[in-house]
Structure 1
Amino acid sequence: MNTKKDIVKVAKPKLMRFMEEINSEAIDIEDEYEMNNISVSDCEIRTKTADKLKVDGVIFSKMDFKDIFLKSLELTDVRFENCDLSNADLSDSEFEGAGFRAENLKGAIVSATQAVDFSKIFGLKVKD
């Protein structure tokens, strides 16, 4: 069972109370794509790579981000609920107000700096 302490937050997301909901079977993401103030649930992301994606005020629920590389991804006020981020390359991403459950990040690829930031959030102490 998930508890509040299982959620990793890089600054708390500030989300709109009412959002447009997208419940299609699949979505395609292109370079320089923007997603704003929506809730996306149960969709497959067909695109495996995209550059300069901006996501602001979005809730992703029951999504599969497995094996996806989104270069220069900017996440602002975003929450991931029951999403699979295994092997998703987030190493070139910027987070400002993102909420993750610990199990959603399992297997995700992050940069060394991001790993240090996430370790602090998880309460880990890094020793040289």
Structure 2
Amino acid sequence: MNILNPKVPLALQELADFASAAASCMTEESPITGIYVADQTENEQDFFKLEVSGAVFERCTFERCIFEKTSFYDCKFQNCNFSNSNLQDAYFERCQFQFCKCIGTNFHGSVLKHVAALQSNIQFADFGGTKLTNVLFRETDLTESSFAESSLKQTEFQNSRLIKINFFKTPLAGVDFAKNEFAGPVLSSPPFELQGAKVNAAQAVDLARLLGVIVEDL
């Protein structure tokens, strides 16, 4: 999997108040760059159309915040919480999430390029209508998240939990589910989305039920 890592500057400016700095940049319609943000909590803050590049966020909480149409370039998020926040139509390029929580987060219509989600909890998230290119989900829980009507190009799932995922009208050709916990997907009838996808034998038995096939033990 060829994913470009974030290009984060060696020297970063530590921000004691990210929300205030972001508000100033949004007013001036200028990007916020080369920053380090740690141990900050924001609730229901509006970061609409903010542009962030070359940044590291550690142990930050952004719950129920608005990041709609926000752009992130070359950013690292470590032990951060974006649960129930709105990142609709956001843009991510060369970004990494590790040990993060994005439960119920809205990524609808977003663009993700060269993005890695590692050892994270992304249950009940909405990736509907997203465009994913060179994206990796490793050791990540995506239970009951939605990728309906999305585009998955060079997207990999590794040792992740994919239970009751909504892949309605999302072509899965070339996607390898074999080394993941994959069961109960939401698909069309018949499930054309699975054409060209790779599954293991146990997963195939479960998916056969979507076709009305009953597999008996020998």
With the shorter chain as reference, the TM-score category is 0.7 to 0.9
Contact 1:49/1:69 (<8 A) preserved? yes
Of 55, 60, 63, 1:58 maps to: 55
Specify the alignment match of 1:97 in structure 2: 94
TM-score by length of 1: 0.74
Of 13, 16, 20, 1:20 maps to: 13
The sequence identity of aligned pairs, in percent, is 24
Provide the C-alpha distance between the structure 2 equivalents of 1:108 and 1:65, rounded to a whole number of angstroms: 11
Name structure 2 gaps, 5 residues minimum.
109-127, 132-146, 163-174, 176-184, 188-192, 194-218
Deviations 1:51-74 (A, max 9, x none): 220000010111111101122100
Q: Mark the structure with the bigger radius of gyration.
A: 2
Q: Equivalent residue of 1:58, what SS?
A: strand
Counterpart amino acid of 1:49?
D
The verdict on how the C-alpha distance between 1:102 and 1:42 changes in structure 2, with shifts beyond 3 A counting, is: closer
Contact 2:7/2:94 (<8 A) preserved? yes
TM-score by length of 2: 0.46
Name structure 1 gaps, 5 residues minimum.
1-9
The verdict on how the C-alpha distance between 1:11 and 1:121 changes in structure 2, with shifts beyond 3 A counting, is: farther
Counterpart amino acid of 1:27?
A
Q: Larger relative CO (CA 8 A, sep 6+): 1 or 2? A: 1
Of 100, 122, 126, 2:157 maps to: 122
Contact 2:44/2:66 (<8 A) preserved? no
Q: CA deviation at 1:101?
A: 2.2
- The answer to whether the aligner puts 1:41 opposite 2:44 as a matched pair is no
Q: Equivalent residue of 1:104, what SS?
A: coil
Of 54, 68, 71, 1:71 maps to: 68
Aligned-residue Cα RMSD (Å) equals 2.9
The verdict on how the C-alpha distance between 1:103 and 1:60 changes in structure 2, with shifts beyond 3 A counting, is: closer
Structure having the larger proportion of residues in strand = 1
Contact 1:48/1:67 (<8 A) preserved? yes
Q: CA deviation at 1:110?
A: 1.3
Provide the C-alpha distance between the structure 1 equivalents of 2:90 and 2:105, rounded to a whole number of angstroms: 12
